Chain A
Amino acid sequence: MIFLNINNLNVSIEGKKILNDFNITINEGEVHAIMGPNGCGKSTLANVLAGNEDYEVNSGKVIFKDENLLDLNIEERAQKGLFLAFQYPVEIPGVNITPFLQASINSKLKNHQKPELDNLSFAKLLRKNAEELGISSDMLKRSINTGFSGGEKKRYEILQMSILNPELSIFDETDSGLDVDALRIVTEGINKFKDPKKSFLIITHYQKLLDYIHPDYVHVMRDGQIVKSGDISLATEIEASGYKNF
């Protein structure tokens, strides 16, 4: 099975080219990190994969689990097992996580022709996963992301990931706006979730996040392309001398 293969992807927004013949292959169970300076197209990549309709795909191919990803809309991609942890999770006043996430998981189960979760089994699952991530039951009663601190929002994203159980999780600058403690909690959550069937694409500006997550591959991105690939030592190099050498 081809897990994820992006082949010569060209993407623009309002006529401005952002991704430029972009290529990457991610296999099952691998953790990839993409690093790059501001404006190199990292976040665009994350949003194009999720199906954000603000971007225009000019050419190229994306295969995800043997299927042409670009043929699917946002929710179909999500139901197929693609999860995006947002850089800035949006507030949804008045909407509680419980019915929201129950509807989400059930749409996925339905898509996979599996029985849906009833209220009770979902509530149990949510409580168990929240406890593991140190999320209080009080926090579960609030509206989604509403009035949350940066750290709380990111933890909420991890909670959602742990429930939805995606095969490919994309983290869009999850470390932005987090202090060291919050970063530790969030990365612990990600690490707990790792297994040989799951793959990760971690987009970040700094090396710090990678100290906790230990990617298998590190890629450096510039001007809408990967310019160098390697292992964690690449991240160390960037931390020491910045992006000017790439």
Chain B
Amino acid sequence: MDTETSQTLDKFAQDKYKYGFVTNIDSDRPKKGLDEEIIKFISQKKNEPNWMLTWRLDSYKKWLKMSDPKWANIQFPKIDYQDIYYYSAPKGFEKKPKDLSEVDPKLIETYNKLGIPLEEQKVLAGVAVDAVFDSVSVATTYKGELEKLGIVFCSISEAIQSHPELVKKYLGSVIPPGDHSFSALNSAVFTDGSFVYIPENVKCPMELSTYFRINAEETGQFERTLIIADKGSYVSYLEGCTAPQRDTNQLHAANVELIALENAEIKYSTVQNWYPGDEDGKGGIYNFVTKRGLCKGKNSKISWTQVETGSAVTWKYPSCILKGDNSIGEFYSVAITNNFQQADTGTKMTHIGKNTRSKIISKGISLGHSQNTYRGNVSFLRKAHKARNYTQCDSLLVGNKCGAHTIPYIDSKNNSAIIEHEASTSKINEDQLYYCRQRGLSHEEAVSLIVNGFCKQVLQELPMEFAVEAQKLVSISLEGSVG
């Protein structure tokens, strides 16, 4: 590799995080650590009914008996669960503010800085936003308009109060609390997140979006999102996340459950940009997320698209359980790791019904000293007649100190299943760089262009409004851009 290439790579490796500011706002926090008292405190803060508290406490008891999963290709010090704050709310949030005039202007400013204006008139046309700051939901825009269609889009805390029957029926139905230690932990201490219900035959006319922000120090964020698409409905949902720059690690352990009934479709997109740590690998978010969708009804469809650029450690496998006959599961992923970031991410497609189909497109880009692993599990159960899977995993290495790993598991109990798997690993091509530069592009522009081209198959799956953002984010993750 020529010197200029390595210089540019060094520059990339010193990539700066531009969302690392802290909002100085008083927050209301109980003591550190996890015990039944804290869970009762959270439940009480949120004025939850008894069944919810019982559910939390049961989950906590399960968690006590479990240990964290160890099979992923990531290394990090043991998490001290007693050294984390489990609840943090900006002061004055005992009751959710009725409208934005009741919200602390500092909070609104924070979201403006992040490019998420909450004032409805400024909101990106056609996107409804729910913003979660530490443990509480700050504001949900466009609520009234959605209500007219019977769509429920609110914080999960609110849904527990207003739609207990739906929450009771579906919460934990896709990710049982006892699934693994992080799901048990989340079920015990989840603080907020979004809730969506789309009634029968309603096509949600706008993108629904949640923006998560960790602000307070030593705080964990345990959000819980539940999306239910009733028969024949459609919804597209986008999630974005950032956190301040700190030299200590912070834990984020979210659970997201999707349920698609007959002929329903859910499109779930994530742009994950948690603070990744500095160039020496200090600080950053530990992102242990469980995302799972259930294609419950016939002809239903769930599609996950993720652009993962942040976090010190990412452990995340958005999955689909294809139960309904003819149901479809899709997973499109771009994961970029830089400096000392570690990502172990992929998907699980479980084919249960007849003629179920799944498609996996994964693009991993490793820079600096990072490690980037794709882990996929495609299984066909006995009754999954004529089910099909197509998997394509491509890895791009930039520099020679990083690593890319592809670990696909395939398990078929049905002879009629058709499985295709393609994988490639390549280094950034010097001939391509030469070509671009001969046309007058700088080295940095050329790398960014080539990487964006490499990710295109995935980026084009994002909703239009966010595809451009994501493209920029990809470039920023490569460049030394500040502010």
Q: Is the CB of A90 within 8 A of B439?
A: no
Contact across chains for B432 and A78 when beta carbons are under 8 A apart: no
CB distance B434 to A52 under 8 Å? Answer: yes
CA separation between A93 and B453, bound complex, in Å? 6
Q: Does B443 contact A100, Cβ atoms closer than 8 Å? A: no
Chain A neighbourhood of B66, CB < 8 A: none
- Whether B4 and A94, one on each chain, are in contact in the complex, defined by CB atoms closer than 8 angstroms, is no
Closest Cβ–Cβ distance, residue A25 to chain B (whole Å): 23
Q: How far is the CB of A87 from chain B (nearest CB, A)?
A: 12
Determine if B121 is an interface residue (Cβ-Cβ < 8 Å): no
Query: Are B435 and A78 closer than 8 Å at their CB atoms?
Result: no
From B441, B443, B455, B456, contact of A103 by CB (8 A): B441
Contact A74–B438 (Cβ < 8 Å): yes
Instruction: Tell me how far the C-beta of A139 lies from the nearest C-beta in chain B, rounded to whole angstroms.
Output: 17
Per the bound structure, the CA–CA distance linking A218 and B457 in Å amounts to 47
**Contact indicator B440/A100 (Cβ below 8 Å):** no
**Residues on A with beta carbons closer than 8 Å to the beta carbon of B449:** 92, 95, 99-100, 103
Interface check A204, CB cutoff 8 A: no
Inter-chain contacts of A93 with B (CB < 8 A): 453-454, 456
Are B452 and A94 in touch, CB under 8 angstroms?
yes
A78 B437 Cβ-Cβ under 8 A:
yes
Q: B442 contacts the other chain (Cβ, under 8 Å)?
A: yes
Q: Given the interface contacts A78-B440, A164-B439, does A90 sit within 8 Å of B432 by beta carbon?
A: yes
Categorize the interface residue count of chain B.
20 to 34
Query: What's the nearest-Cβ distance from chain A to residue B347, in Å?
Result: 21
- Give CA–CA (A105, B431) in the complex, Å: 20
Chain A nearest CB, measured from B269 CB (Å): 19
Asked if B38 CB lies within 8 Å of chain A CBs, one says no
Q: Are B440 and A108 in contact (CB under 8 A)?
A: yes
B438 and A100 form a contact (CB under 8 A): no
Question: Is A73 on the interface with B (CB-CB < 8 A)?
Answer: yes
Residues of A within 8 A of B432 (CB): 90, 92
Question: Which residues of chain A come closer than 8 Å to B453, judged between CB atoms?
Answer: 92-95, 143
Are B452 and A75 in touch, CB under 8 angstroms? no
Contact, CB under 8 Å: A104 / B435: no
Distance (whole angstroms) from the CB of B448 to the closest CB of chain A: 10
CA distance in complex: A107, B439 (Å): 9
Q: Is the CB of B439 within 8 A of A100?
A: yes
**A53 — nearest CB in chain B belongs to which residue?**
B2
Give residues in A with beta carbon < 8 Å to B. Answer: 50-54, 73-75, 78-79, 83-84, 86, 89-90, 92-95, 99-101, 103-105, 107-108, 111, 143, 160, 164
Given A94-B456, A95-B449, A100-B439, 20 other A-B contacts at CB below 8 A? A73-B4, A74-B437, A75-B438, A75-B442, A79-B440, A90-B434, A92-B435, A92-B436, A92-B450, A94-B454, A95-B450, A95-B453, A99-B449, A103-B445, A104-B441, A107-B440, A107-B441, A107-B442, A164-B439, A164-B440
